[in-house]
Amino acid sequence: MKKIAVFLPVILVLLSAGCSKFEAEQLSLKDSFDRSINNINDAVSVISSTKGYELLSSASTEMKSDLDFRDSITLDLVAGIYDFKPNLKHHHNFFIPFRLFEKTGESDHLIVNMPEKHAFRPWCLYNPSAPDSILKNNFTIDASEYHYYYTWFNRHDYGLKADFTLDTVDIGNLEVLSESNREDGYSRSSKYTFEEGYNIAVSYETGDSTISSFNLSQDEEILMAETSIWIRDDHHKREKVYILTIGNIDIIRGSKLDSIQVYLDGVLQKEAGVIITDEDDDEWSVCRHRDILLTFDDGTTANLSDLIAPAKEVMATIVGSLRNMNFAKRVVDYIAISIYYHSYFINL
């Protein structure tokens, strides 16, 4: 199984050692930290006001369970242009969805036009009502890539690349890759690109080690990134490496390091200090259950969770939604399955 890695800050840190990310300016550790925190808060403030954020967060809260689908679909089987037109005379059975869409054109993409209500409130998609048929189809999913190969024993290979528009306005795009097999374990990566080039990407990979990462960027510039690498030791999960990137600052803790190290533009800051505090949980992240106390050269300190309090909650929502593939599974897959079954198996 090929390894999925949208990003891996471990590699970035090693390759960028000694190279300034901000060559035009040489700021102190404290000034660099303050600037980077402002950039993070500004970015997340923009993201939280977007329809893309609303899309991801609503997919997380509306549904309590996922569809148990065990079949394979490729883009060519569902390609075309479809408009939301539910057939309420047909009652779905088991995991087979309602007949929700009517094909209105040809395309090599999967293009779906539907009311925004059913995108931003996925429960309505699962339970259409008569008045829904007169709603305006003002939300569009344009999937240029889509496949879901499934075999028994939880082997799967999944891929999605889709753009979203609301009232013809671009509200972002989503990319998802996921693989699983018994030999190599499980890997998943998701990335959503919002307005103004902001994007959040996550990845999770199991095998000999478990690697979990998330990344907040604007275009190609990393604003914040976090990577944790765990290993199993006597049936207990132990963190082997932890890396937190905040702008041009890297904080590294490793089982083979004598202390937590702080780098500014790849240069070790020998007078800086860090305390990492974890809650009683096995999924530590600065988004949830982990805090960072950074001490600067002059003895002053900064508590990360206090400085990014509003941003922290927004990032936790997005990271959780992307990691669980909520919108992909609960909306895009449900639509694709409905089209697939009613096109090939059910004659009404």
**Domains in the chain: boundaries:** 9-344
Query: What's the rounded mean pLDDT across residues 257-282?
Result: 91
Residues 6 or more apart whose CB falls under 8 angstroms from that of 50 comprise 171, 172, 194, 195
The answer to whether residue 280 scores a pLDDT higher than 90 is no
The pLDDT score that the predictor gives to residue 16 is 47
- pTM comes to 0.88
Lowest mean pLDDT among 120-124, 168-172, 216-220, 340-344: 340-344
The answer to whether residue 203 scores a pLDDT higher than 70 is yes
Q: What is the token pair recorded at 342? A: 């009613």
Closest CA to 36 of 224, 183, 247, 193: 247
Q: How confident is the model at residue 342 (pLDDT cuts 50, 70, 90)?
A: confident
The answer to whether residue 209 scores a pLDDT higher than 80 is yes
The pLDDT score that the predictor gives to residue 9 is 44
Distances from the Cα of 200 to the Cαs of 35, 217, 221, 292, in angstroms? 20, 6, 12, 21
> What is the DSSP track for 212-226?
EEEEEEETTEEEEEE
- What does pLDDT average to over the chain? 86
**What would the pLDDT profile of 210-266 be if each residue is shown by its tens digit?**
999 999 999 989 999 999 998 877 667 788 999 999 999 999 999 888 899 999 999
Identity of the amino acid at 239: E
DSSP 8-state code for residue 21: S
**What would the pLDDT profile of 64-119 be if each residue is shown by its tens digit?**
445 566 678 999 999 999 999 988 766 555 456 678 899 999 999 999 999 999 99
The pLDDT score that the predictor gives to residue 72 is 85
The pLDDT score that the predictor gives to residue 95 is 56
Q: How confident is the model at residue 123 (pLDDT cuts 50, 70, 90)?
A: confident
The answer to whether residue 15 scores a pLDDT higher than 70 is no
**What would the pLDDT profile of 37-67 be if each residue is shown by its tens digit?**
999 999 999 999 999 999 999 986 645 445 5
